[in-house]
Structure 1
């Protein structure tokens, strides 16, 4: 998924007030965790994922895996926090994606 600069800036501003809802701990990236991220992206479109101190995962590697497996876009990485975006396939959950489409 390719986003333009204006779209990324808008998504970063929308994510600023969000709290991380998915945490990656010492068990790392598991199938259950990927399912949880997938479900949250379907419902919210924009989420924050945080890497806890006890994980061996690297933020850039996690971002690459999420983009490849879930077909989403990692909008921003700040330290151990990732901002992840994917448009919802269900119309009732499409709030942010409608605003992002207008900017293209």
Structure 2
């Protein structure tokens, strides 16, 4: 579980990132979760954009993605979700204590 200071740190790191995944009308599926999990292993921190035609609630989408990819939701702001998962082999981000 991320602490407040760690979430602030990750939000500042994610500010300059562009969303690399989009959730649309089809919602969340297994293929998307697998791709996000792989991307998190490589990057540790990423943004996911929720399109206007997505039928599910943004908090539900964030919860599904985090649970499926075994990641943590840093923030849900507008139609953007920020996810973090510590990489096993390619650790790049050192969290403050």
Does the alignment reach a TM-score above 0.5?
Answer: yes
Q: CA deviation at 1:69?
A: 2.0
CA displacement 1:69-99 (0-9 Å, x = unmatched): 2221110111110000000111xx2111xx1
Distance in 2 between residues matched to 1:55 and 1:69, nearest whole Å: 18
Question: Which 10-residue stretch deviates more, 63-72 or 20-29?
Answer: 63-72
Counterpart for residue 94 of structure 1: 91
Distance in 2 between residues matched to 1:30 and 1:55, nearest whole Å: 13
Aligned residues: 97
CA displacement 1:10-39 (0-9 Å, x = unmatched): 000000000000101111111111111111
Contact 1:77–1:83 (Cα < 8 Å) also in 2 = yes
Contact 2:22–2:49 (Cα < 8 Å) also in 1 = yes
Q: CA deviation at 1:58?
A: 1.3
Contact 1:51–1:57 (Cα < 8 Å) also in 2 = no
Q: Which residues of structure 1 form unaligned runs of 5+?
A: none
TM-score of the aligned structures, taking structure 2 as reference length: 0.94
Counterpart for residue 53 of structure 2: 54
Measured on the aligned residues, the alpha-carbon RMSD in Å equals 0.9
Runs of 4+ in structure 1 displaced over 6 angstroms?
A: none
